[in-house]
Every structure is written in C-alpha cells, then in structure tokens.
Amino acid sequence: MGVATTAELEERAAREFEKFRRLTYRMFLLSMVTLVVTPGMALVQRYDDGSLHLSVLIAAVTGLGAFLWCYMRMLRGWLHGRVDRQSIAFGGVAAGALSVMILSHGLWTLVPIFWAATAAPLLRTRRWTTLVILGTAAWCTPFILAVSDRPLRWYADPAHWYVIPLAFGILAVSCAVVVFINRYQMRMWDLHQEAHASRQAQARLAVTEERLRFSRDLHDLLGHSLSLIAVKSELAMRMAEADPARARAEMADVRTAARGALREVRAAVRGYRAVELDAELAGVRAVLEAAGVRCETAPPPDLPPEIRSVLAWVIREGATNVIKHSEARHCRISLALYGESVVLEMSNDGVRSPRGDAGSGLTGLTERVRVVGGELTAGRDGRDGFLLRVVIPLPAEDAVELAESGSPV
C-alpha cells in the first residue's frame, strides 16, 4: 500500500478506537445513572405526600451531583490511561454520604457498593481490591439493618446476632460479583488498547521495512555509479592543466556514468510504480485485516502484464476507499475469467458510497481501465453494500492461450 493508504489506515484505526472509548464510557455512565435513579424514584414515591424535608432533598441532590461528577472524572481518567485517585476518594465519600443522609430506602445502599465495584479494579492490586470490597460491605451493613423492619433491640438479642455476619457476607459477595463483572469489562478495554497499539506498531514496522528496502535498492543502484563519478571527477580536476585532453576524456566518462545512474533511478521508480498484482493482493489483505476488515481473496489467473498492472491499481484504490469511506467489516475480492474477458469484483458491507476525493480516485481508475479497453462501474449492490466491478477484454491471442492452458473461466 502507498503512503496515503497507510495514513488512511491509521486514521480509521484512530476513529474506531475513539468510538469504542466513547461506547465504554457511556456504558459505565448509563449503568451508574440507572442505579442512582432507581432509589431516587423510590424516595420520591415514599414521600409523595410532601413530608420530605427540603434540607434533606437539597443535601441528597448535592451529594448525588458530587458523586456523579467524581464518577465521570474517574471514568475519563481511566479511559485515558490514568488512575484518578483523588476522584476515587471523593466519590467514595460522596457515596457514603448519600447512604448516611437518606436512610429511607435500602436501595441507596447500592450506590457505595457499585462505586466500590467500579473503583476497586482500577487499583489493580488484589490486596486493595479485597480491602475495598470488605470495607464497603462493613460500611453498608449497618444501613441495611437500620432500614429493615426489625427494631434495633431485635439485633441486640444474642439469638439474632447471626443476621449481622450474614448481611455482611451477602453484601461482600454482591460487591465481589459486581467487581468481577466490571473487571471483565475493563479487561476488554485493556485488550482493545493493546490491539490498537499492536496495529499501530505493525503499520509503523511495515513503513520502516519499506523505507529500508528502498534505501538498500538505492544504495545498490547508485553506490557504484556515484563512487565512479567521484573518482573520475577528482582525476579530471587534477589533470585539467597538465593534460587537458585526458581531463576531457575523464569528464566524458563522468557524464556517461551520470546518465547511466539517472537511467537506473528512473527504471527503479518505474518498477516501484508498476504495481504487481500478486503483491498488491497480499498487501491489501494484510492492511484491511489490520484495520479490522475481514478480507477474502483468491489467487489471480495468468494475465498479460499490462492488465495485471491496471487491476493492481484498481485493487489498491478500492482498498483505500474501503478504509477511508466505509464502515465495512467484510470485503471480498474476486478475479476470474468469463469468456474472453477478465472480471474483477470488490464488494464490502459498508453502507456509505465513496464521494469527494474518492470520486476523483475512481475517475482516475476509470481512465486507466479505459486505456486497456475495459469498463469500471461502482455503486451499491442492493444489499447495504458497495460493489466495484471492472471488466477488461483480453487480447485475442491471450484469450486463446489462457483457454488452452486450462485457466478457470
């Protein structure tokens, strides 16, 4: 793939990464908001007669706002690779304050439990996670018992003391289960980050390898010629006064060597620009799969060099459009002979058609295809996908040769 396509690959990967980051943030935030709204509605229904004191309501709203603010700060920090311990601490205080201020409904005890379940995995160590779980269960147990239908003197009876460790155990297990679920979701985010970093490293490595290969080729092409030019020019300068004829002969050799080097460079550039079909198919598949697009290809049939080069350019531009202008998850590239023509089809399940600079790219491809007598069409395939199709007639002698060789038709 070219440099522009590599840039588009990195841009697509960045878009997908940011989209997954926002989705993860909204998922955690929605779960917390839902958890807080549920006991809030229960509180309003309990005091629908207006007996709820205004100061308690203001304190609850203030504590809830502070709690959600700390929660959002903690989530943003985590999604950007930071552990905001200050927000974790302040959020824990706000969650505890909510459970203290509002003893009218046991559902409010879920707020500090869920806070602990979210914050504990961020601490990363098993020791801190265990301490947070046990501490949260110990904090919530008295409030659960206080809002129950039993009077406090009922718990003072030694025959009923078993209820206290039982409540503590249930809360600890509940908190641990939610911690496990949240840790799994956070691990999925960590794996997504690692995959994103791996794709970036793979793209950088591919670019570096291509640069090294190009530099080696240039060294092999120009090393000898430039050394010869340097030696000949130095010799001509020394003999300019003593033997002008010899100096002119040496400069003629310099001119010949320079022209030869120029021809070699131009030939090398033409070689890089003349895209090889097999290499392009392999490169396109690797790049698309690195971008998260599953790609199906098949070995191409034997074709004339000119047609192979044109088809390689079509595949390159088509892959660029898949990466840049679609949200495709699957791409299929088929190349086969039908009668006396070769047909290339690139289909993907993206729902957006190419436009803008993609249109100019397809225009250039259409011109390339027309040079060899072919036809290019591009548009929706009727199944929420996009189809790029090229039909190129084969020269008569090539068609006969391919038919005799048993190539698939």
Quick: pLDDT tens for 272-307: 555 578 878 887 887 777 667 888 888 888 888 888
* Bridge partner residues of 379 (DSSP): 387
Q: Which two tokens stand for residue 24?
A: 């993860």
pLDDT per residue over 80-98, tens digit each? 777 666 666 666 666 665 5
DSSP, res 300: P
Sequence-ordered list of residues with C-beta below 8 angstroms from that of 186, at least 6 positions apart, any chain: 78, 121, 122
Mean pLDDT value of segment 173-196: 77
- The one-letter amino acid code at 369 reads V
pLDDT for the residue 345 = 92
pLDDT per residue over 29-74, tens digit each? 777 776 666 666 666 666 666 655 666 667 667 767 777 777 777 7
Output the average pLDDT for the chain: 74
- The yes-or-no verdict on residue 4 having pLDDT over 50 is no
For tokens 């039982």, name the residue.
Answer: 166
- Higher pLDDT, residue 77 or 393: 393
Q: What proportion of the chain, given as a percentage, has pLDDT over 90?
A: 4
SS3 sequence, 33-58? HHHHHHHHHHHHHHCCCCCCCHHHHH
Mean pLDDT value of segment 235-245: 85
Q: 404, 392, 304, 277: which is closest to 342 by C-alpha?
A: 392
Mean pLDDT value of segment 14-36: 77
pLDDT for the residue 409 = 42
**In this structure, what are the phi and psi dihedrals at residue 157, rounded to the nearest 5 degrees?**
-70, 125
pLDDT for the residue 45 = 62
For residue 165, give the H/E element and its range. helix 163-238
Q: Which of 40-49, 216-225, 363-372 has the highest mean pLDDT?
A: 363-372
pLDDT per residue over 333-347, tens digit each? 999 888 888 999 999
Q: Which of 147-151, 351-355, 390-394 has the highest mean pLDDT?
A: 390-394
- The yes-or-no verdict on residue 178 having pLDDT over 70 is yes
- The yes-or-no verdict on residue 405 having pLDDT over 60 is no
- The yes-or-no verdict on residue 112 having pLDDT over 50 is yes
Name the E strands within 266-383.
Answer: 294-296, 330-338, 341-348, 375-380
Go through the domains of the chain in sequence order and give each one's CATH number. 3-198 (no CATH), 203-273 (1.20.5.1930), 277-405 (3.30.565.10)
Find out whether 321 and 355 touch, Cβ atoms under 8 Å.
no
Q: How confident is the model at residue 223 (pLDDT cuts 50, 70, 90)?
A: confident
Q: Which two tokens stand for residue 148?
A: 């129950």
Q: How confident is the model at residue 2 (pLDDT cuts 50, 70, 90)?
A: very low
Mean pLDDT value of segment 317-344: 85
pLDDT for the residue 99 = 58
- pTM: predicted TM-score of the whole model, two decimal places: 0.47
